[in-house]
Amino acid sequence: DTGVSQNPRHKITKRGQNVTFRCDPISEHNRLYWYRQTLGQGPEFLTYFQNEAQLEKSRLLSDRFSAERPKGSFSTLEIQRTEQGDSAMYLCASSPVPVGTSSGGYTFGSGTRLTVV
């Protein structure tokens, strides 16, 4: 397994356009998370899935944001009508479900850097 893969690595888009990012998690991990990070800040939680079920969404996730994980494997994050404030690094992570002695630690991808001009 090559870890968590995110594509594209960089995306420049014009304000008002829609963008979609993809995340391929570690195959044995049931959980998949999306975080957003701006310069100088820690990652901010957006949403997470257990298998194909979206279990929690942050209030940061406006109705312009939607995430899917249709078959419980890869996930997509779509931003509609992008705004300059959406410029950030979008991070995907996966983890096993924390059970017993497993702490459910994250494995992060390298992120997709979005620039809205």
Partner 1 sequence: DAKTTQPNSMESNEEEPVHLPCNHSTISGTDYIHWYRQLPSQGPEYVIHGLTSNVNNRMASLAIAEDRKSSTLILHRATLRDAAVYYCILRPNTNAGKSTFGDGTTLTVKP
Residues forming a β-bridge with 49: 32, 54
3-state DSSP assignment of residue 54: strand
88-95 and 107-108: which strand pairing? antiparallel
44 scored as a contact of partner 1 (CB under 8 A) = yes
41 scored as a contact of partner 1 (CB under 8 A) = yes
> Candidates 14-22, 62-70, 71-79, 97-105 — which segment interacts with partner 1 by CB under 8 A?
97-105
Per the structure block, which two tokens stand in for 40? 């100088």
> Candidates 11-19, 27-35, 61-69, 78-86 — which segment interacts with partner 1 by CB under 8 A?
27-35
> What is the layout of strands, in order, in the sheet containing 75-79?
5-7, 19-24, 75-79, 65-68
CB nearer to partner 1: pick between 97 and 117: 97
Binding site for partner 1 (CB under 8 A): 4, 31, 33, 35, 40-45, 48, 50, 55-56, 91, 93, 97-100, 102-111, 113
